[in-house]
Amino acid sequence: MTEPLPQGTVIGILGGGQLGRMLSVAASRLGFRTHIFEPGANPPAGDVAHRVTTASYEDAEALRAFAETVDVITYEFENIPTSALDLLETLRPIRPDRRALAVSQDRLVEKAFLTDLGLQTAPYAAVDDAEDLAEALAEVGTPAILKTRRFGYDGKGQAVLRTPEDATEGLAAMAGAPAILEGFVNFTKEISVIGARGLDGSVACFDPGENVHREGILRTTTVPAQISDAQRTDAVLIAAQILNKLDYVGVMGVELFVTPTALIVNEIAPRVHNSGHWTQGGCAIDQFEQHIRAIVGWPLGDGARQSDVEMENLIGADMERLPALTRQPRTQIHLYGKTEVKPGRKMGHVNRIL
């Protein structure tokens, strides 16, 4: 596929949240249509999609019908049930493919993959039961974080163990799910690299952004990150190494802890990433369009940073600040159309052009 796909080509997107919504908008800019598959009714992405299927990931009929209307399938989240992927990949190309999902759906597999690549991660150990946890605590030490191996996001399915005495309560929070104990990394800051790899194998990364989290949820990303030139180069090389190893196609988010002596890979997300939203205000081609370009076989676009940007998430009651935000200069507002405000819910974000 070296010629751009024709106008009207349909891109199937699994997941109808804000990432699917912004992917859909980016697809439209390039003349493509989208078909959203989402179990929940009235998904945010449905407002800007050509078509929406509301069905469960267990509904093989619906999955098949969905696949038959699209030319290529992508997704906005990594926790897609295996059975759905098994079916879909027999019908249409899924980009990024199963390799990326296998690695990112399981924190233990992810850590092993990164370690095999020679990259540094937090110290970790597998935890299936109380005995494992005792051993893991002896090896990793405290404080540490116990996390379910699968299906975690935004701090959910996690328990902080400040001392070994927190073990029992922490394990209970896993509700029997296979888990991983991760040692704390004493980092000075957290950055992320949004990388992209095209169908032709070319790689392009956006400038690393500097992230601030609160209560496990990303609050701000600022570019450029305040890191050394060597760290900037290393961060991009790490992302490129991961992308190439997976024969990846699409955009990936790579979160890194910065310590005085190393860059430590926290986690990878095989999709557009909240910490890449700044690209909408800072680059000619943003992460959403970059992803669409990659999965349809276009050349990767020019993601060079043209402005410094601070991205701030609007979470829950932050929406009360909206009237004031609408009056701020150099401020791009992105809202997701969610009618119900809940604590911790991502309602939108703003990009401040610095």
CA proximity to 225, closest of 216, 236, 241: 236
Q: Are strands 10-14 and 250-258 parallel, antiparallel or unpaired?
A: unpaired
Confirm or reject binding of residue 6 to a copy of itself (CB under 8 A).
Answer: yes
- C-alpha distances out from residue 117 to 113, 123, 193, 233, 246, Å: 6, 15, 17, 17, 11
With CB under 8 A as the rule, give the number of residues binding a copy of itself.
50
CA distance 125 to 324: 47
Q: Given the complex with a copy of itself, which of 116 and 340 has the nearer CB atom?
A: 340
Give the footprint of a copy of itself on residues 293-322 (CB under 8 A).
293, 298-299, 301-302, 304, 306-307, 322
Confirm or reject binding of residue 346 to a copy of itself (CB under 8 A).
Answer: no
With contact defined as beta carbons under 8 Å apart, do 96 and 248 qualify?
A: yes
Per the DSSP assignment, residues forming a β-bridge with 352 are 310, 331
With contact defined as beta carbons under 8 Å apart, do 150 and 140 qualify?
A: no
Is 57 known to sit in a ligand binding site?
no
Residue window 262-291: x/- pattern of binding to a copy of itself, with contact defined by CB under 8 A? -------------------x--xx------
Residue window 16-45: x/- pattern of binding to a copy of itself, with contact defined by CB under 8 A? -----x--xx--xxxxxxx-----------
In our burial notation (b when 16+ CB lie closer than 10 A, e otherwise), range 32-63 reads bbbbbbbeeeebbbbebbbebbbbebebeebb
Q: How far is the CB of 154 from a copy of itself (least distance, A)?
A: 20
CA distance 17 to 159: 26
Q: How far is the CB of 4 from a copy of itself (least distance, A)?
A: 6
What residue ranges bind a copy of itself (CB under 8 A)? 3-4, 6-8, 21, 24-25, 28-34, 46-50, 281, 284-285, 293, 298-299, 301-302, 304, 306-307, 322-323, 326-339, 347-348, 353
Binding residue positions: 107, 147, 152-158, 182-185, 190, 213, 266-267
